[in-house]
Structure 1
Amino acid sequence: MPILSVEHTTIYRYRRSVGFGEHRLLGRPRDSADQILQSWSVEISPAPVAMRHVQDVFGNVVTSFTPAMRAQELRVVNRLRLDHTPVTPRQSDVARYAATWPFGYDAAESPDLGRLREPSIEDADHAVGRWARRFLRGAETPTLDLLSDMTQAIDSEFSYRARFEEGTQSPARTLALCSGTCRDYAVLMIEAVRSLGFAARFVTGYLYSPRGEHHHGGGATHAWLEVFVPGLGWVDFDPTNGIVGSRDLIRVASVRDWRQAVPLAGTWNGLPADFLGMDVTVRVTDASADTALPVPHLQAL
């Protein structure tokens, strides 16, 4: 049960001093049985007029702030420390009625999962749906095996390609190229499992790479997905690294659509030519030997 520490620094650089509007940060991890937050802080320069913490429609904590002064640089440092207990799902724990695909969600849960089962991107040529069905094993397929096989296939058959522009490529393009980023792989698998009737959501967070292991997607924010499996609840699947379960994954926010999970966004006042660039660094370390600080009080929750 390691204590993981994260320092996520984002720096926006400008040619001359510019003014800043409201910014929105997804930085506070979601508390759950496998990750318990011990400390969290946000450092902003120039200092903001005020900082608010509210919950969005998905229960994620959103931090809003507006820097008070004009400046040539905006620096946001998100620091956290949490107790991380990895969970590996077991097929034997899947509810009996959902042990194999196809199955139907319980009538009491189905209405709440409805939008999370609907594809978000049109699959005009049914390329994603056909690809998803290659993982079926005849009339019945063990549910967890199906999802695990899909996760492992993306990891082993696709080539990870870092891409720094915003957004994602379409799932059909990811399939055609057999390459993409963690965001692209998460969106592909979400659309694939939704085509089979599963409820899935996009996750943004951080990735820990233990000594001796190499994970794709470290050094920046990371993306993967969760699938709702009766008997197991929301299960993490990281197709970028072939991870099933929450090992090495730090969940910050879970949403229906990737556009709802931008880690940091905001506005500034100036000419387009004033923007020089953005630098992002993320350090995730094992801080088990350190003494944790108490979690600060959050306002307006």
Structure 2
Amino acid sequence: MLSRVANSLYWMSRNAERAENNARILDVQLLQMIEASDEELVRDDDWKLIYEICASTDMMEYIKSLPAYNEDQLVYYLAMEEENFNSVASCVRFIRENARVSRDHITDDYWEVWNRCYLTLQDMDTENLSVREMQQFLQKVKNTALTSQGIVESSMSRGVEYQMIKIGKWLERAEKTARILNVVCERTLARSAAQQSEDYYYWLAALRMTNGYDAYLKANPPKMDPSLVLAFLVSNSSFPRSIRYCLNHMREAIVKLEDGKVSHYSWELFAKIDQLTADFDDFNFQDLEQQDMMNFLNEFQNGCNEIGQIFSKTYYLIDPDSENYKSTQTQTESAKGITSMKYKIEHTNIFKYDTVVDQSMNSIRLKPRTDEVQRLLSYRADITPASLTKEHIDIWGNNVETFFIAEHHQHLEVKTTSIVSIQKSPFIHQIDYSPEMRAIFHSKLFGEHYLAYLSNTAYTYLNPEQIEQVDRELGKFDNPVQYALDVMNFIHDHFTYNGESTDVSTKASESFDLRKGVCQDITHVMLGILRSKHIPARYVSGYLYVGENSALVGDAASHAWVEFMVPGVGWVGLDPTNNVEALENHIRVGVGRDYNDVSPVQGVYRGGSQSLDVKVSVSLLDQ
């Protein structure tokens, strides 16, 4: 599985757990607000408790300082505020977007329940919601989260996808329980210092916020004894929201992810989990002072943050900034990274023949791909003269449509219309080329698996003298990620985009000597250089969205760029024609060894010579 998919599954799960936790915590507060009489308003300390758990007291004070402040604004910020990445509504948006990205790796039922919740949110007039309406939305989110958990357990196979979802869930849950207990300990300690004895409410709130009140009463006497509540929520091995339970199940999921082995790259992760688990055995919660408990929970939260960072580093996920995450539990990287772009592509090929053609057999590769970062939303092919098409997937995974025209014709038009959504995923500059990646890159298995993309073709071959010129310019090859970037810069600096100097049959060696060509030629040259260093690289055919006032070139027809394989990460795109990463502006249609594997239109016919007119239009659609 590509790390971008694993990243989406992991954060989808964490945000689903976060949405349910925050919805439940806020719902407890709203219930008290609705039930309170005019004489019995919710105390300011209660809101401080909620904001310390779900946001920060600084944000609470800022909201209260606004000129037109009312208590509903405190609710709105935690439930609906779009700029609050931890609001319940923001979590729902993140879940839906991450689920869309990893759609092929989750069940349809899981997608549908969260998509319905998202559509409900979209239909709401969020600026004019009453407290009651916000409470109804929170209830829907809770029900959706619980339903989605049931779907995961009942219909997902226990493969990598399942384990990534479980790891995200247990880590998020452990952190939230620790955070709740930490805040409650601090609150009750402050009240004791002020000689206030009514701690019952806070420990009851801790149980309700963790959905553990009923389970606690079944296991303990009916009293709010802080030591009993702490022991129950920290070390109970059978309650699904206790810290120990979460840690045990998170470790179990990682063990299954690793097939029961502790490898050279995962030992650090196991060591940290085992260290935290062992810490529980050294504490007697019955005799522990609250200050000691606060210190323990603080250390545990730091440990959970460290586990999240180690896990992300181990599996090449995108990890949020640790300091920001520690204080606000915000998935800032996902907030920036998972938004998407939607495009409409119209591609028209018009063939005109000098003489009447009595029959022709054709194949087209014009249907965009669906993968981890790109999703095809709709596609239509219109062929004149009218013809039925048959579809199949070729050896490279491309969509191919074939059609036969038996009638006489002197004109053939193929027009395709596609709508595609692409996830924004700036990635390559975040890749840290680790010793583990280096070992995989130099392994025999890696070379054998990507042999097709290591062997040069007639289109991509460069002679030794040409490779030597590149070596003199770029120096010693060591890191394939950095080398690929250097090659892209080299080509952009030394080659000129020129549509008159080459044609469709021009080889890389010819383009290299000319130092000019179109995107097809420039891509072939880069492929030849990368493959000479045993870097698996493939030709990508697709479209480029340029937009207004852009310096990018290559949108007049099909565009071409390079993807190279990074161990543990997957295929990473670079556009040497424009000296940019191939990201959300690049719409992928086909991949192969060279242009010949992905030619948009191929065919044979019986008749005279032909002329071809190509028109491509790529437009950005509103989200």
TM over 0.5: yes
Q: Shift of the alpha carbon at 1:99?
A: 6.1
Please give the alpha-carbon distance, in whole angstroms, between the structure 2 residues aligned to 1:177 and 1:225.
Answer: 20
3-state DSSP of counterpart to 2:485: helix
Q: Is the 8 A contact 1:194 1:200 kept in 2?
A: yes
| Moved >6 Å (runs of 4+) | none
Please give the alpha-carbon distance, in whole angstroms, between the structure 1 residues aligned to 2:502 and 2:522.
Answer: 16
Corresponding residue for 2:8? none
3-state DSSP of counterpart to 1:202: strand
Q: How does 1:84-233 map to 2 (within 5 A)?
A: 84-97=422-435, 104-121=441-458, 125-134=463-472, 136-138=474-476, 141-163=478-500, 166-233=503-570
Residues 39, 124 of structure 1: alpha-carbon distance in 2 compared, 3 angstrom cutoff: closer
Of 342, 364, 369, 1:3 maps to 342
3-state DSSP of counterpart to 1:109: helix
The structure having more radius of gyration, on CA atoms, is 2
3-state DSSP of counterpart to 1:149: helix
**Structure showing the higher strand proportion among its residues:** 1
Larger RCO, structure (CA 8 Å, separation 6 or more): 1
Residues 73, 262 of structure 1: alpha-carbon distance in 2 compared, 3 angstrom cutoff: same
**Is residue 376 of structure 2 the alignment partner of residue 44 of structure 1?**
no
Q: Is the 8 A contact 1:46 1:68 kept in 2?
A: no
**Is residue 418 of structure 2 the alignment partner of residue 80 of structure 1?**
yes
Corresponding residue for 2:621? 287
3-state DSSP of counterpart to 1:127: helix
**Is residue 369 of structure 2 the alignment partner of residue 30 of structure 1?**
yes
Query: In structure 2, what residue type is equivalent to 1:174?
Result: S
Structure 2 gap segments, 5+ residues each: 1-339
3-state DSSP of counterpart to 1:279: strand
Please give the alpha-carbon distance, in whole angstroms, between the structure 1 residues aligned to 2:606 and 2:474.
Answer: 52
Q: Is the 8 A contact 2:382 2:415 kept in 1?
A: yes
**Residue correspondences, number:** 283
Corresponding residue for 2:594? 257
Q: Shift of the alpha carbon at 1:20?
A: 2.8
TM norm structure 1: 0.85
Q: Does 209-218 or 169-178 show the bigger shift?
A: 169-178
State, as a whole percentage, how many aligned pairs show the same letter.
25
Superposed CA offset, 1:44-79 (max 9, x none): 00001x210101111111100112432221110011
Of 61, 71, 75, 2:399 maps to 61
3-state DSSP of counterpart to 2:605: strand
Q: Does 211-220 or 91-100 show the bigger shift?
A: 91-100
Q: Shift of the alpha carbon at 1:19?
A: 2.0
Please give the alpha-carbon distance, in whole angstroms, between the structure 2 residues aligned to 1:224 and 1:168.
Answer: 17
Residues 24, 45 of structure 1: alpha-carbon distance in 2 compared, 3 angstrom cutoff: same
Q: Does 260-269 or 11-20 show the bigger shift?
A: 11-20
Q: Shift of the alpha carbon at 1:248?
A: 1.3
**Structure showing the higher helix proportion among its residues:** 2
Query: In structure 1, what residue type is equivalent to 2:533?
Result: L
3-state DSSP of counterpart to 1:74: strand
